Amino acid sequence: MDNRPIGVFDSGLGGLTAVRQLEAVLPHERIVYFGDTGRVPYGTRGEDVIRRYAAQDCLFLEQQDAKIIVAACGTVSSVANADLRARAVPTIDVVEPTAKAAVAATHNNRIGIIGTAATVRSGSYAGVITALRPETQVFGQACSMLVPLVENGWIGEDDEIARLAVARYLQPLKEQQIDTLILGCTHFPLLTAHIRAFLGDEVTLISAGQEAARACAKLLAGTDALCDPAQDGGTVFYVSDLSQNFAEVSRSFLGREATDIRLVDIHSL
């Protein structure tokens, strides 16, 4: 039994989709979330910068006494995976559990991946998928403009800009006749309605945040590190920049308004 909190970080608010899943499957666990809203997005940065940001994010959560860290960021999971695994605190990335779920879901061995430019360029998902099932064809599509759309709340089912952007990005994958699509950025579940409308219900969508939450719960249970079930759960939110629309956008990710929001100077770490 371990009553220390679970640490979760992302380049912005997308990781809140992982927090939502963790709160659902592990309601008694305490969670500390850090969103690097002052430096979002990570996906357009160089590899050295992404690795430095990831190290600072992990260090902050380690200072909060996190017993495990969930890197709820496809870019960090893809680019800094080796760094994450080398840390003293156990770390869950989104790539491996999500890739495994996609392999289990596909029937025609044609899997699509959408993520940031850094995620797609790294080939991280394709590497895990083809190692598990070599005959699988993997098609990646960088969708960097979708992140600011979500961060700015342009996600409504009647939002024409979101509809057009999703269609523009996903058309090449649709032409490849994929039957499974990895939402390789934790922002993208907020665009599920637009993605389903364009691809159709026959394409299975795999959420990176959801799979990471499941992997975290499995690891904690397997190592006897779940908290006392009598403990009251709850989430504390830290950000590196508190934007005016934080509460509104966070409500879309969490299904409720985030409270107990604190500002942290990540540059000091």
Which positions are catalytic? 73, 185
Using H for helix, E for strand and C for coil, what is the string for the chain? CCCCCEEEEECCCCCHHHHHHHHHHCCCCEEEEEECCCCCCCCCCCHHHHHHHHHHHHHHHHHCCCCEEEECCHHHHHHCHHHHHCCCCCEEECHHHHHHHHHHHCCCCEEEEEECHHHHHHCHHHHHHHHHCCCCEEEEEECCCHHHHHHCCCCCCCCHHHHHHHHHHHHHHHHCCCCEEEECCCCHHHHHHHHHHHHCCCCEEEEHHHHHHHHHHHHHHHCCCCCCCCCCCEEEEEECCCCCCHHHHHHHHHCCCCCCEEECCHHHC
Q: In what order do the strands lie in the sheet with 110-115?
A: 137-142, 110-115, 180-183, 204-207
The rounded distance, in Å, linking the Cα atoms of 71 and 207 is: 14
